[in-house]
Amino acid sequence: MAYITLKNINKIYPNGFHAVHDFNLEAERGEFIVFVGPSGCGKSTTLRMIAGLEDISKGEFLIDGQLANNWGPREREVAMVFQSYALYPNMTVYDNLAFGLSLQGVDEDVIDERVRKTAKILGLTDYLDRMPRALSGGQRQRVAVGRSIIRKVGIFLMDEPLSNLDAKQRVTMRSEITQIHRETGATTIYVTHDQTEAMTMADRIVVMKNGYVQQIGTPKDVYFNPRNMFVAGFIGEPPMNFIRRKVENGCITVAGHAFDLGKKLGDKVKDYEGKEIVFGFRPEGIVLGEKENAYIAEGTVELTEMLGDNANVYVDIDSDKSILKVTPHEIPEMDSQVTFSIPYESVYLFDAVTEMVI
Ligand code: ATP
């Protein structure tokens, strides 16, 4: 049975704003779930409802099969790490870690053992006597995480815990949090607007937009089988390229080439005759030159970005801007024409009206 269940959860704020619509999710014990989506899509609101910090306006929230809508945060056995973590500035790292347990009246010996174990997991052993002001941002964040994991909880909630760190620290903490999750085994819900964090850390990703869940799936699922244009454009970096065209005689015309959509859609292409369709392909889904079993197109190179192991090439295809990912040895000249192939299996077609994948 799922450990946490959200059934048609809604949040309507007192001012009448409907921030979350019919959110459904079943998280297994020990699962690492990431809520991802642009600012304001309802990630934090949903997390706060799970934490018991925000009332659930409508719907059912269950923990281990029991209705928990009205349970307080303590009964839910949750720990939460926020974006703006506040450590106690006048306490050492040791005391910061120990404080919550002391309040609960836990024995000194047990506290000491847990503080040392937590510090070890987080690489803070050498800093236990330091004050927070004498720590780097990353170390402070680790203490904040430590304060949460030191209590043995069933549910671990994190709201953008890495957003105050620099790019390098974020990468390090990303793998540390994954490691901590493995060691503690707590069911974890992690909120971020960063699709890379979501892809690298999650067992399953919940993609949200405007208060609605767009798709729930493993990182592979949401990358390879996006349900709609929003998910296709949000997951993947650089984002998927989209070309909007009218279907005529089963084809769309791109850079003077007729793309026979029957190759992809079979008989279904008839349903789109005379209508607009969105042709999607990922920057990394292309091959330079002309290949078999692929749509072939050309574009003018407007900009190239050398990234080290690969390069982004910005091309103009009949005024549509697209990005192609190539190896560093394939970078074309500025203003030159590049011919590239989009293998049929790398193409995604979307209904231009519903924006759903076809
Ligand atoms: P971010 O990444 O910026 O934190 P988010 O996805 O976590 O965004 P939420 O903080 O959940 O988004 O907010 C969802 C929506 O609810 C936003 O439009 C926000 O303005 C609105 N909202 C949040 N708190 C309240 C409130 N107390 N009263 C009314 N509306 C609110």
Higher pLDDT, 358 or 121: 358
Q: pLDDT by residue (tens digit) across 62-110?
A: 999 999 999 988 888 888 887 666 788 899 999 999 998 888 888 999 9
Position 252 scores a pLDDT of: 95
- Looking at residue 20, its pLDDT comes to 98
Average pLDDT over residues 170-195: 87
Q: Is the CB of 194 under 6 A from ligand 1?
A: no
Spatial separation of the C-alpha atoms in residues 97 and 18, rounded to whole Å: 38
Nearest-CA residue for ligand 1 atom 1 is 39
pLDDT of 84 reads 65
Dist. CA 27–CA 21, nearest whole Å: 18
Two structure tokens written together for 212: 């609605």
Residue 13 Cα to ligand 1 midpoint, Å, equals: 9
For every residue of 136-195, DSSP letters joined together read -HHHHHHHHHHHHHTS--SEEEEESTTTTS-HHHHHHHHHHHHHHHHHH--EEEEEES-H
Burial 146-181 (b: 16+ CB within 10 A, else e): bbbbbbebbbbbbbbbbebbeeebbeebbebbeebb
Kindly report the backbone phi and psi dihedral angles of residue 212, in degrees, each rounded to the nearest multiple of 5, phi listed first. Answer: -115, 140
Average pLDDT (223-251) is: 96
Closest residue CA from atom 25 of ligand 1: 13
Which positions ≥6 away from 54 have C-beta within 8 Å? 11, 45, 48
Among 12, 44, 212, say which to mutate for ligand 1: greatest number of ligand atoms within 8 Å of CB: 44
Q: Is the C-beta atom of 44 inside 6 A of ligand 1?
A: yes
Kindly state the tokens that stand for 92.
Answer: 């050492």
**Tens-place pLDDT, residues 8-49:** 999 999 999 999 999 999 999 999 999 999 999 999 999 999
Interval 148-155 mean pLDDT: 82
* Cβ of residue 40 lying under 6 Å from some atom of ligand 1: yes
Phi and psi at 324, nearest 5°, equal: -115, 140
pTM above 0.85, yes or no: yes
Residue nearest ligand 1's atom 23 by CA: 45
Pocket test for ligand 1, best of 35, 43, 53, 159 (most atoms within 8 A of CB): 43
pLDDT, tens digit (0-9, with 9 covering 90-100), for 268-303: 999 999 999 999 999 999 999 999 999 999 999 999
Q: What is the pLDDT of residues 238-250, one digit of tens each?
A: 999 999 999 999 9
The percentage of residues in the chain with a pLDDT greater than 90, rounded to a whole number, is 74
- Spelled out in words, what is the top-level CATH class assigned to the domain 4-234? alpha beta
Which residue minimizes the CA distance to atom 31 of ligand 1? Answer: 13
How far away, in angstroms, is 41 Cα from ligand 1 center?
Answer: 7
Cα(223)–Cα(232) distance, rounded to whole angstroms? 7
Instruction: Quote the pLDDT of residue 11.
Output: 97
- Name the one residue in this structure whose structure tokens are 């692929």: 294
Work out the angle at residue 48's Cα, subtended by the Cα atoms of residues 42 and 52, and round it to the nearest 5 degrees: 145
Compute the Cα dihedral for 42, 47, 49, 53 and give only its sign: negative
**Is 15 close to ligand 1, i.e. is its CB under 6 Å away?**
yes
Cα(340)–Cα(324) distance, rounded to whole angstroms?
A: 9
CA dihedral 93, 97, 102, 107 (to 10 degrees): -100
pLDDT reported for residue 36:
96
Percent of the chain predicted with pLDDT > 70: 99
pLDDT of residue 243: 96
**CB 193 near ligand 1, within 6 Å:** yes
pLDDT value at residue 28: 94
Closest C-alpha among 4, 66, 59 to residue 31: 4
The full length of the chain comes to 358
- The closest of 236, 113, 124 to 173, measured between CA atoms, is 124
Instruction: Supply the pLDDT for residue 154.
Output: 84
Task: Name the closest-CA residue to atom 17, ligand 1.
Answer: 40
Closest protein CA for atom 12 of ligand 1: 40
Please tell me if the CB atom of residue 38 comes closer than 6 angstroms to any atom of ligand 1: no
Return d(Cα 193, Cα 24) in angstroms, integer: 20
d(CA 173, CA 310): 25
The per-residue pLDDT for range 306-329, each reduced to its tens digit, is: 999 999 999 999 889 999 999 999
Q: Which residues of the chain form beta strands (DSSP E)?
A: 4-12, 18-27, 32-36, 58-63, 66-67, 78-81, 155-159, 187-192, 204-209, 212-217, 241-246, 251-254, 257-260, 276-281, 287-288, 294-306, 311-317, 320-326, 337-343, 347-351
Nearest to 98 by CA among 349, 227, 107: 107
Q: Across all residues in the chain, what is the average pLDDT?
A: 92
Q: Are 343 and 291 in contact (CB under 8 A)?
A: yes
pLDDT at position 351 over 90 = yes
Question: Which pLDDT band holds residue 152 (cuts at 50, 70, 90)?
Answer: confident
Q: What is the pLDDT of residue 225?
A: 97
Q: What is the CA(39)–ligand 1 centre distance, in A?
A: 8
**Is the pLDDT at 186 greater than 80, yes or no?**
yes
pLDDT of residue 160: 87
CB 319 near ligand 1, within 6 Å: no
Q: Cα separation of 37 and 355, whole Å?
A: 17
Comparison of pLDDT for 78 and 210, the residue scoring more:
210
Separation of CA 40 and ligand 1 centre (Å): 5
Spell out the domain ranges in the chain. Answer: 4-234, 241-351
Instruction: Output the CATH code of domain 241-351.
Output: 2.40.50.140
Same fold: 4-234 with 241-351: no
Task: Give the residue whose CA is nearest to atom 27 of ligand 1.
Answer: 13
Upper half-sphere CA count for residue 141 (Cβ side, 13 Å): 22
